[in-house]
Amino acid sequence: MRLIIFGPPGSGKGTYSSILKEKLGIEKISTGDIFRAEVKKQSELGKKVESYLKQGLLVPDEIVIEVVKKIIDEKKDNFILDGFPRTVNQAEWLINYIKIDAIIKINVHDEILIEKISGRRVCSNPNCDGNYNITDIDKVIDGIHYKLPSLLPKNDMICDKCGSKLIQRDDDRPEIVRERLKVYYQQTKPVEEYLRKKGLYFVEIWANREPKFIAEEIISKLSNR
């Protein structure tokens, strides 16, 4: 299955796609994770993209497309794209390059995003996708009841999966989060309209409960297709 998971920064895309990766046996392709790992390694690519990530700005399309093309060529039939496409250019390239089966669209209110992002902690090991949250949310906005308990590691600030230290991502700081949301509404939201116009199949989910429930709902909606 070839999937895209789409939604604002902090909507839980990374967490849901990690669960879907396990449950559906597909590859997770996260451009954000790839770029962060390259920056840590200080590879040639890492040096090229570092300043964009630091400022919460988008990496130029030609760099992102080259990276994604290489991975898609290897994993052709079974993948979930997390964080790509983020511009109409990237979306146009993608749907002309390969057939996409479904787009999972994650809905969540901005207020919740900001609270959730500021509580996010990730594993410092670039080869591990450990992801946690220290914020506990239980509130109703516009009739949507958000019940998002914290997701804490067993040992204080240590990753359950690999034992490395947990850290806050540089771009999860409030001023950068506001910039990332601005970029999302200006450059990434139009991608949704573009893909809808092109007739791609959308599965919509409110991210108002624990990730495992959201992942179950996604799988059930995908199988009802």
List, by residue number, the catalytic residues.
13, 86, 120, 169, 180
Provide the edge-to-edge strand list for the sheet that holds 166-167.
Answer: 131-133, 120-123, 166-167
Comparing every residue's Cβ against ligand AMP, the nearest one is 32
Helix 174-183, helix 110-119: angle, nearest 10: 140
Single out the residue of 17, 6, 182 nearest to residue 94, CA to CA: 6
Between residues 15 and 90, which has the closer beta carbon with respect to ligand AMP?
A: 90
The DSSP secondary-structure symbol of 171 reads G
Please enumerate in sequence order all residues whose Cβ is within 8 A of that of 32, keeping only pairs 6 or more positions apart, or say none. 14, 82, 83
* Residue 35 engages ligand AMP in binding (rule: CB under 6 A): yes
Amino acid, single-letter form, for residue 76: K
Which token pair is 181? 């949301």
Binding status of residue 6 toward ligand AMP by CB under 6 A: no
Residue of 12, 56, 119, 130 interacting with ligand AMP (CB under 6 A): 56
The answer to whether residue 31 forms part of the interface with ligand AMP (CB under 6 A) is: yes
Q: How far is the CB of 213 from ligand AMP (least distance, A)?
A: 23
Q: Please tell me whether residue 86 binds ligand AMP under the rule CB under 6 A.
A: yes
- Work out whether 59 is an interface residue with ligand AMP (CB under 6 A): yes
Q: Encoding tokens for residue 61? A: 């399309």
Check binding of 17 to ligand AMP (CB under 6 A).
no
Residues that bind ligand AMP (CB under 6 A): 9, 31-32, 35, 52-53, 56-59, 64, 83-84, 86, 90, 171, 180
